[in-house]
Amino acid sequence: MPTYHLGIDDTDSLKRGCTTYVGALLVERLLPQAAFIDFPNLIRLNPNIPWKSRGNAAICLRISTQRDCDYLLELAEEVVEENRDRQDEKNQPGIALLQGEVPDRLKLFGRRALYDVLSVEDAISLARELGVKYKTIKGGRGLVGALAAIGNTLEGDHTYELIVYRKKETWDRMRQVDRESVVEMDKETSPYTFNNLDYETGRVLITPHGSDPILFGVRGESPGVLRQALKVLRFSGGDRWIIYRSNQGTDAHLINNAAVAGLRPYQAAVIEGELTVAPKVIRGGHTIAELGDATGRIDIVAYEKSGGIQRVLRGLLPGDRVRAYGGVSPHEGGSPKLTLNLEKLEVLELVKTAARNPLCEKCKVRMKAKGRNKGYKCEKCGLEAKEPVFESLDRKAKEGVYLPPPRSVRHLTKPLQRYGMEKSWCGGSADSFFGFIDPKGSP
């Protein structure tokens, strides 16, 4: 049977709707007439795009079926039209359908969409060249994400998310998920699920807050551990569940190892260099420093809510070598200098010594500098010295990788507990990834 890759994006808005829910509805319609050759894919794209809705997620359904392209496109358009947020003028859904193997050029497009800014014109041109069928609604900006979802085949590291959706009549009500059961689930499935709770504040992280279809979502290393988590959780108002295979929690967007001079606004980037200016606290409680490499300098900012990253940044000194991960934004006030909003900070090498004015052997006071590269002189006795002295520093900062607390991390950011759990996808059957919740609240 022919194989197809169906990508969809931008069906939601900042207030309501959910592209993964559209995917779940399509799965229900397709299961009787298609074989899934992969789990449904949930692809998070560049989180720094200013016109994104919320989590900048697109989905791809990879199937084998006797149905033709026209039928599949019409079905997808029908489900999208019925469930997109029509009240939002910025809502611009895109649908893409590829038959056969995913070309390398489309994979490259998908990779770029994780960290760069791509245009609708780029997407349309590529779709036409590769013979990808597509539909756009309104401006069709979602075509970029739809194509990128097809192109991101998740052959490398990946995770899974089990999402439970609620009944439509409850979308505007408070979610009913028992907090203690979330704690139990987290302890029972750790470390194979992640970002369930923020233990510092006690905040439950698996439940969103808007008027959208999602009741909760649990992220983990395998479908099996997510089904185990579902059995532990106590909740009401659930309607259906689905398991997506995803790039969430993999740092998939942090692959753009860039030089400062080559950065552009709204990219996700990784920059390695030395601090050139000591960190300082600015209005709002945020911390800013300057990072330089061989090509230029950029401000790096740790926001107040970033917790540990901010504390570490404040403890750094000029000359410390770091690797900064984050999103590039234009500098306030129209300055050409860019800012990197820190998402992760890796301290590579700390300055161990500092140059100081030498001590006068007779007077036991610090000499004064005579001028740049002119040596030093004691103001009391006139004794001179040519070179500074280097003294060891007692540094509280430590080398290592630092992240914000779970409540502040992005969907794509890899939690520390996942380091060492990376895996590759070698294909295989996709089963038991969709079902309904019975009235008692169990799967």
The three-point CA angle 386-392-398 to 5° equals: 140
In three-state form (DSSP H/G/I as H, E/B as E, the rest C), the secondary structure along the chain is CCEEEEEEECCCCCCECCHHHHHHHHHHHHHHHCEECCCCEEEECCCCCCCCCCCCEEEEEEEECCCCHHHHHHHHHHHHHHHCCCCCCCCCCEEEEEECCCCHHHHHHHHHCCCCCCCHHHHHHHHHHHCCEEEECCCCCHHHHHHHHHHCCCCCCCEEEEEEEECHHHCCCCCEECHHHHHHHHHHHCCCEECCEECCCCEECCCCCCECCEEEEEEECCHHHHHHHHHHCCEECEEEEEEEEECCCCCCCCCCECCHHHCCCCCEEEEEEEEEEEEEECCCCCEEEEEEECCEEEEEEECHHHCHHHHHHHCCCCCCEEEEEEEEEECHHHCCCEEEEEEEEEEEECCCEEEECCECCCCCCECEECCCCCCEECCCCCCEECCCEEEECCCCCCCEEECCCHHHCCCCCCCHHHCCCCCCCCCCCCCCCEEECCCCCCC
- How far the first Cα of the chain sits from its last, in Å, is 32
Cβ–Cβ < 8 Å for 26, 76: yes
Domain boundaries, the chain: 3-151, 159-251+419-436, 260-352+393-406, 353-392
Burial 248-287 (b: 16+ CB within 10 A, else e): bbbbbbbebebebeebeebbbbbbebbbeeebeeeeeebb
Distance of alpha carbon 48 from alpha carbon 250, whole angstroms: 16
Look at the alpha carbons of 389, 394, 395, 398 in this order and tell me if their dihedral is positive or negative.
positive
- The burial class, CB within 10 Å (0-12 / 13-18 / 19+), for 329 is middle
Give pLDDT, residue 333: 64
Q: Span 3-151: which CATH code? A: 3.30.70.2200
CATH code of the domain occupying 159-251+419-436: 3.90.600.20
Query: Residue 372 — left, alpha, or beta (φ > 0 → left; ψ -120 to 50 → alpha)?
Result: beta
Q: Exposure string (b/e) for 383-394, b if CB count within 10 Å is 16 or more?
A: eebeeeeeeeee
| Residue 108 to residue 152: CA distance in whole angstroms | 8
Q: What does the pLDDT profile of the chain (443 residues) look like in tens digits?
A: 999 999 999 988 666 779 999 999 999 999 999 999 999 999 999 999 988 777 799 999 999 999 999 999 999 999 999 988 777 777 899 999 999 999 999 999 999 999 999 999 999 999 999 999 999 988 889 999 999 999 999 999 999 999 999 998 989 899 999 999 999 999 999 999 999 999 999 999 999 988 889 999 999 999 999 999 999 999 999 999 999 999 999 999 999 999 999 999 999 999 999 999 999 999 889 999 999 999 999 999 999 888 889 999 999 999 999 999 999 998 766 667 899 999 999 999 999 988 889 999 888 899 999 888 889 999 888 889 988 988 888 888 999 999 999 999 999 999 999 999 999 998 877 889 999 997 665 55
- According to the model, what pLDDT value does residue 270 have? 98
Dihedral angle, C-alpha 132, 134, 140, 142, nearest 10 °: -70
pTM above 0.85, yes or no: yes
Assigned token pair, 251: 């740092």
**Burial track 177-215 (b if 16+ CB lie within 10 A, e otherwise):** beeeebbebbeebeebbbbbbbeeeeebbbbbebebbbb
Alpha carbons 290 and 275: distance in angstroms, whole number: 6
pLDDT at residue 243, as a whole number? 99
So what's the pLDDT on residue 400? Answer: 96
Q: Which class does domain 260-352+393-406 fall in?
A: mainly beta
